[in-house]
């Protein structure tokens, strides 16, 4: 196999250093200036930069290729052919943005008979594995492990044989995840109904809990089980795990290491997601996140492109909890996006930085001052205290954190200058455009 990571300039330190050299002086001046601004607020910029440097968000393997909708998918040149290509592309993202040290895999899309080889392949490229994802929302023709259809559901199907098949698949995902060094399984199912009367809400929920308990019973020590709620799609009348309430009830019924994962796009427009985050933290049931952005439905747009203030307000709750709950507070941070019209690598580079930006801004909130305005019922100044942090341009901190990790000051510029996309396009045969589907 042609090891693109050995030949591609994008992985060559001197190439990256040469690109950085043109920007380093301006960055140093901007960083110095921001340092002075923050010093006036009693904040040491180095503390923020150090925290940002430690911050990572996992890259979703399924977003390394072009995404699509039910109407169409337009593959770009150099589409990843298999999980090893996806790892190469995720390695580019981590090499340039230094913020995505782990990959979240999806089975059977990333199925491999030799997970230890995959683990070594990724480790050689500086990558580990975050939560693995099961898939009982599609049928897998020709896959002997899934002979029965999930058309009418999976973990909640009325046929115990289909539920058993879905449970077995989740146990297989754990098996693969263990070999890969992952420590969590994310379960999202599309089970639900398109017609009133089609499904008994209570019985379906009971079947869900029974099935998840069967998976939980086999959870290895130190592992967690993440339940992902979603308002609708593919079901368009009712979804078994439709909202955080259903997810929380299920997680509380299943067990201590079963928690609720928040995908930002899985809520109705204008839902106060930061409030949901605060409630799940209160219940000690916050698993983590699938970061993305949306305007209407589960649009899976790049994080921070539509509503960066919402992303900031979510991180404001997370930093508050981090400071109140201490080191034990460790939600899983992952991206979950569908790159329909951009180069996925560029979208992952910018999205990782957008999530880091929201974290850095949230670290700038003066929480003592905020608490005083809250206690003294001064809503305007409380809001202003958050806004001051949000409008602070933390770009010099993000870029300096990257530079200090020998990554790129301007990741997209280095990526484009590297010619990586053209190089993999020569290596990987083009995929025909056409049919719909998210991957
Ligand atoms: C469902 C979802 C889930 C994944 C899938 C790719 O909408 O967010 O997290 O399994 O996207
Ligand atoms: Mn998701």
pLDDT digits (tens, 9 = 90+) for 88-110: 999 999 999 999 999 999 999 99
Provide the angle, in degrees to the nearest 10, between the axes of the packed helices 83-97 and 344-363: 40
Phi and psi based region of residue 202 (left: phi greater than 0; alpha: psi -120 to 50; beta: remaining):
alpha
Comparing C-alpha atoms, which of 179, 109, 102 is closest to residue 146? Answer: 109
- Please name which of 157, 146, 212, 215 lies closest in space to residue 190, comparing C-alpha atoms: 157
Q: Which residue carries 């929480």 as its tokens?
A: 367
The confidence score (pLDDT) of residue 433 equals 67
Judge contact between 227 and 250, C-beta under 8 A.
Answer: yes
The answer to whether the CB of 336 is under 6 A from ligand 1 is yes
Question: Which phi and psi angles does 187 have, rounded to 5°?
Answer: -115, 110
What band does 131 get if pLDDT is binned at 50, 70 and 90? very high
Query: Is residue 116 predicted with pLDDT exceeding 70?
Result: yes
- What does the pLDDT read at residue 432? 73
Whether the ω angle into residue 433 lies within 30 degrees of 0, i.e. cis, is no
pLDDT at 51 over 70: yes
CA distance 177 to 175: 5
Does residue 423 carry a pLDDT above 80? Answer: yes
216 CB under 6 A from ligand 1?
Answer: no
Is the C-beta atom of 230 inside 6 A of ligand 1?
Answer: yes
Please list, in sequence order, all residues whose beta carbon lies within 8 angstroms of the beta carbon of residue 139, skipping any fewer than 6 positions away: 146, 149, 150, 151
Q: Is the pLDDT of residue 436 over 90?
A: no
Strand partners, 103: 59, 129
Q: Tens of pLDDT along 297-321?
A: 999 999 999 999 999 999 999 999 9
Question: Position of tokens 């899976």?
Answer: 300
pTM over 0.85: yes
Q: According to DSSP H, which parts of 266-394 are helical?
A: 273-282, 308-325, 344-363, 367-375, 379-390
Of the listed ranges 14-18, 143-147, 428-432, the least confidently predicted one is 428-432
- The reply to whether ligand 1 has any atom less than 6 angstroms from the CB of 320 is no
Residue with CA nearest ligand 1 atom 11: 336
Which residue has the least CA distance to atom 7 on ligand 1? 298
What separation in Å is there between the alpha carbon of 107 and the centre of ligand 2?
14
Is the CB of 339 inside a 6 Å radius of any atom of ligand 1?
A: no
Query: Which residues are near ligand 2, the ion (C-beta closer than 5 Å)?
Result: 263, 290, 336
**Where would I find the beta strands (DSSP E) of 235-312?**
238-239, 258-263, 286-291
The residue whose CA is least distant from atom 10 of ligand 1 is 188
pLDDT for residue 2 is more than 90: no
Residue-level pLDDT at 218? 98
Count CB neighbours of 69 within 10 A: 13
* Whole-number Å distance between alpha carbons of 4 and 341: 24
CA distance 314 to 432: 39
What are the residues whose beta carbons fall under 8 Å from the beta carbon of 7, sequence distance 6 or more?
A: 423
**pLDDT at residue 10 in the model:** 75
Other residues' Cβ atoms within 10 Å of the Cβ of residue 343? 19
**Helices then strands (H, E): number in the chain?**
16, 11
Phi, then psi, of 415 in degrees rounded to 5 = -60, -50
Q: How confident is the model at residue 327, as a pLDDT?
A: 78
What stretches of 124-246 adopt beta strand conformation (E)? 128-129, 132-133, 184-187, 192-193, 224-228, 238-239
Taking CA atoms only, the protein residue closest to ligand 1 atom 4 is 188
The total number of residues shown for the chain amounts to: 439
Distance, in Å, from the CA atom of 222 to the CA atom of 392, rounded to the nearest integer, reads: 39
Residue 160 burial (CB count, 10 A): 12
Ligand 1 lined by 263 (C-beta under 6 Å)? yes
**What percent of the chain is modeled with pLDDT above 70?**
97
217-239 per-position pLDDT tens digit: 999 999 999 999 999 999 999 99
d(CA 25, CA 30): 9
**Alpha carbon of 27 to ligand 2 centroid (Å):** 35
Q: Is 298 in the pocket of ligand 1 (CB under 6 A)?
A: yes
- Candidate of 150, 336, 339 to mutate for ligand 1, largest count of ligand atoms within 8 Å of Cβ: 336
CA distance 87 to 61: 7
Pairing of strands 332-335, 224-228: unpaired
My answer on whether omega of the bond before 234 falls inside 30° of 0, hence cis, is yes
Is residue 429 pLDDT above 90, yes or no?
no
Tell which residue, 118, 172, 176, has the closest CA to residue 145.
Answer: 172
Q: Is the beta carbon of 125 within 6 A of some atom in ligand 1?
A: no
């Amino acid at each position: 196999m042609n090891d693109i990571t050995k030949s591609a300039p994008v992985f060559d330190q001197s190439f990256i250093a040469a690109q950085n050299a043109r920007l380093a002086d301006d960055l140093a001046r901007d960083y110095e200036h921001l340092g002075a601004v923050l010093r006036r607020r009693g904040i040491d910029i180095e503390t923020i930069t150090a925290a940002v440097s430690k911050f990572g968000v996992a890259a979703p393997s399924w977003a390394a290729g072009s995404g699509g909708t039910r109407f169409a998918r337009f593959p770009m040149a150099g589409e990843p052919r298999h999980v090893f290509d996806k790892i190469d592309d995720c390695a580019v993202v981590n090499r340039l943005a230094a913020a995505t040290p782990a990959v979240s895999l999806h089975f059977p899309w990333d199925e491999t008979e030799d997970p230890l080889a995959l683990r070594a392949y990724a480790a050689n490229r500086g990558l580990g594995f975050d939560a693995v994802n099961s898939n009982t929302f599609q049928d897998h023709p020709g896959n002997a492990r899934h002979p029965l259809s999930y058309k009418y559901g999976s973990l909640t199907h009325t046929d115990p044989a289909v539920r058993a098949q879905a449970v077995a698949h989740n146990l297989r995902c754990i098996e693969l995840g263990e070999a890969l060094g992952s420590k969590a399984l994310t379960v999202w199912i599309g089970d639900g109904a398109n017609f009133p009367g089609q499904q008994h809400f209570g019985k379906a929920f009971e079947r869900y809990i029974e099935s998840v308990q069967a998976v939980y019973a086999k959870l290895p020590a130190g592992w967690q089980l993440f339940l992902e709620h979603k308002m609708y799609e593919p079901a368009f009348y009712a979804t078994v795990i439709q909202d955080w309430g259903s997810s929380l009830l299920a997680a509380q019924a299943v067990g201590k290491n079963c928690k609720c994962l928040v995908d930002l796009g899985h809520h109705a427009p204008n839902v106060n997601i930061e409030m949901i985050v605060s409630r799940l933290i209160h219940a000690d049931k916050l698993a983590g996140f699938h970061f993305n952005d949306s305007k209407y439905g589960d649009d899976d747009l790049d994080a921070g492109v539509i509503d960066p203030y919402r992303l900031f307000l979510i991180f404001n709750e997370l930093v508050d909890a981090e400071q109140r709950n201490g080191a034990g507070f460790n939600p899983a941070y992952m991206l979950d996006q569908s790159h329909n019209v951009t180069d996925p690598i560029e979208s992952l580079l910018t999205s990782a930085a957008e999530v880091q930006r929201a974290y850095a801004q949230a670290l700038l909130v003066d929480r003592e001052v905020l608490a005083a305005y809250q206690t003294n019922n001064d809503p305007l100044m409380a809001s202003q205290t958050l806004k001051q942090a949000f409008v602070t341009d933390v770009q010099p901190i993000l870029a300096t954190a990257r530079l200090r990790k020998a990554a790129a000051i301007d990741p997209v510029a280095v990526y484009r200058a590297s010619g990586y996309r053209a190089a993999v396009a020569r290596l990987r045969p083009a995929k025909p455009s056409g049919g719909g589907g998210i991957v």
